[in-house]
Amino acid sequence: MNWLRNPAHARWLESETDALLGFASGSMTEEGFGYLDSDGELVASEGSHLWGTCRMIHTFALGALLGRPGAATMVDHGLRALQAHFHDDEHGGWFAQVGPDGVMDDTKMAYAHAFVILAAASATAAGRTGGRELLDEALATSLTRFWREDDGMVVESWDAEFTELEDYRGVNANMHTVEAYLAAADVTGDDVWLERAIRITKRVVDDFARGSSWRIPEHFDSRWGHLPDYNMDHPSDAFRPAGATVGHWFEWSRLALHGRSALEARGRTPEGWMLEGARELFELGVREGWDVDGADGFVYTVDFEGQPLVRERMHWVVTEAIGAAAALYRATGEEHVEAWYQLWWEYAAVHLIDEESGSWIHELDAENEPSATVWTGKPDIYHAIQATLIPRLPLAPVLAPALARGLLDT
C-alpha cells in the first residue's frame, strides 16, 4: 500500500494537524505565544521568543487556510504582538525575546527574522489584516540588515542598534531564510526572493555539502571559513550543535526540491545539482542518521567522519525526514523513498506522538525514552504540523500559498 496515494492516510494526517493546533492553542500570552512544558503549561520564565511566536503565527495561518475556526484569531493576536511587544520602533527589526516586564533579549537574529518573514507571508496568504505590511517591512529589514549580495548568504546576528555584527556565520539561519524567501516569492510574485533562496541553497548544497561528503558544515567565521571544532565543548546545543546536524540534511533536501519545483512552475529549467543534492542528502541521512546505534530513531548529530556525536532523538528530525521523503517521492516517484516515509510515521506514532494531548514528545534518549538533554518541554508544533501537510501539497507553491490556492490533496 502506498500511503502517499491513500485517501485514508490523508484523513489521518488531517486529524494530526487538528490535534497539533488544539495543543498549541494553550500557548497564547499577552506578548505573543509562549513556551509550553511537557504538560502543555506555559513556562513563565521563558517569556515569548520571536522565533516561537512567529512559528505559531505561521502554523495558525495554515489552520485558518484549512478552515479551522479560531485559528484566524490566533494569527491576528500574533500580528498585534509583533508590533506592540517585539518591534523595535527606534532601530527597526524585532527583539529576540520579550516578557511581561519588557524586552528580555534585544538581539536581532537572522534566524528569528526569517520566521518574521515566514509568519507574515503565511498571514498574507490567509488574508489577515496587517500581514502584507509586516511582510514588506520584514523583507526590507532582511535585505538591508542581513543579506550580503557578495556572499549570496545572510549574516547571523546584530546588537539592538544594528551597530555590532557577530563574527559567526551559520547555515541554520540561512536555511530558514531560504524557507522564508521561497514563501515570500510565492506570496508577493516577486521572483527576486526565489533567486536569493536558490543562491543560498546552491552555496550550501552544491558547495559546502558536496565538498564535505554531503555532511553539511554548519559553523563558519565572518569570511565563511569552516569552523569544524565549533561548540565541541557543548555539542548538544539546541541551535548550534557541534558537528553535522542530520535533520538539516533532510531539511535542505526538501528545500532544494521546493526551489527546483518553483523554477519548473515558472517555465525554467533547474540545474542538475538540485535533484542530485536532494537525493544525496536524503540517502546520507538514512545511512548515517537512522538506526545507527542499535535502536530506531535518528541521532541528532554526527562528526565529519559520519560517527554519532549526540545520540538523543529529536522529534523535529523525524518530521523533516518525513517531509523530505514526501517531497522526494513527489519529485521522483521512487518507491523505496515512500517505504521510508511509512517507516518514519510508524516510528513517530509509536514513540513520539502523545495521543492524549495531541502533542509530540520533543526529545528521546538513545533508548527512545523521554529526555531533556537538548530540548525541554513541548514549545513547538511548527515542524510536526508541516509534516502533516507537506505530503498533501505540491512542492510549488509552498505551504500557505498552496493552501490559499486550494491545492490540498484530499
Residues 193 and 264: beta-carbon distance below 8 Å:
no
Segment holding 65, helix H or strand E? helix 50-65
Q: Is 298 exposed, middle or buried (0-12, 13-18, 19+ CB in 10 A)?
A: buried
Q: Provide the mean pLDDT of the chain.
A: 98
Residue 1 has pLDDT above 90, yes or no: no
CA distances to 117, 157, 261 from 142, in Å: 9, 11, 24
Please work out, in degrees rounded to the nearest 5, the angle formed at the alpha carbon of residue 404 by the alpha carbons of 61 and 19. 45
Residue 198 has pLDDT above 90, yes or no: yes
390 is written with which cell numbers? 507537506
In whole angstroms, give the CA distance from residue 154 to residue 147.
4
Catalytic residue among 49, 58, 315, 383: 383
> Could you report the per-residue pLDDT of 158-177, keeping only the tens digit for each?
999 999 999 999 999 999 99
Angle between helices 110-125 and 71-81 (to 10 degrees): 140
Tally Cβ neighbours within 10 Å of residue 266.
11
137 is written with which cell numbers? 517591512
Average pLDDT over residues 131-160: 98
The fraction of the chain above a pLDDT of 70, given in percent, is 100
In whole angstroms, give the CA distance from residue 86 to residue 93.
8
Residue 45 has pLDDT above 90, yes or no: yes
**At residue 359, what are phi and psi to the nearest 5 degrees?**
-100, 175
Residues 216 and 171: beta-carbon distance below 8 Å:
yes
Residue 367's pLDDT band (cuts 50, 70, 90): very high
Catalytic residue among 77, 113, 248, 362: 248
In whole angstroms, give the CA distance from residue 313 to residue 395.
27
Residue 18 has pLDDT above 90, yes or no: yes
Please work out, in degrees rounded to the nearest 5, the angle formed at the alpha carbon of residue 114 by the alpha carbons of 211 and 281. 30
> What's the confidence (pLDDT) of residue 170?
98
Average pLDDT over residues 261-289: 98
Residue 314's pLDDT band (cuts 50, 70, 90): very high
> Could you report the per-residue pLDDT of 80-136, keeping only the tens digit for each?
999 999 999 999 999 999 999 999 999 999 999 999 999 999 999 999 999 999 999
**Structural domains in the chain?**
3-404 (1.50.10.10)
> What's the confidence (pLDDT) of residue 22?
97
Residue 46 has pLDDT above 90, yes or no: yes
Query: Concatenated DSSP letters for 75-100?
Result: HHHHHHHIIIIIB-TTT-SB-SEEET
> Could you report the per-residue pLDDT of 216-253, keeping only the tens digit for each?
999 999 999 999 999 999 999 999 999 999 999 999 99
Residues 398 and 331: beta-carbon distance below 8 Å:
no
Task: Confirm whether 77 is a catalytic residue.
Answer: no
Task: Confirm whether 248 is a catalytic residue.
Answer: yes
> What's the confidence (pLDDT) of residue 410?
75
Average pLDDT over residues 133-157: 98
Residues 60 and 17: beta-carbon distance below 8 Å:
no
Residue 404 has pLDDT above 80, yes or no: yes
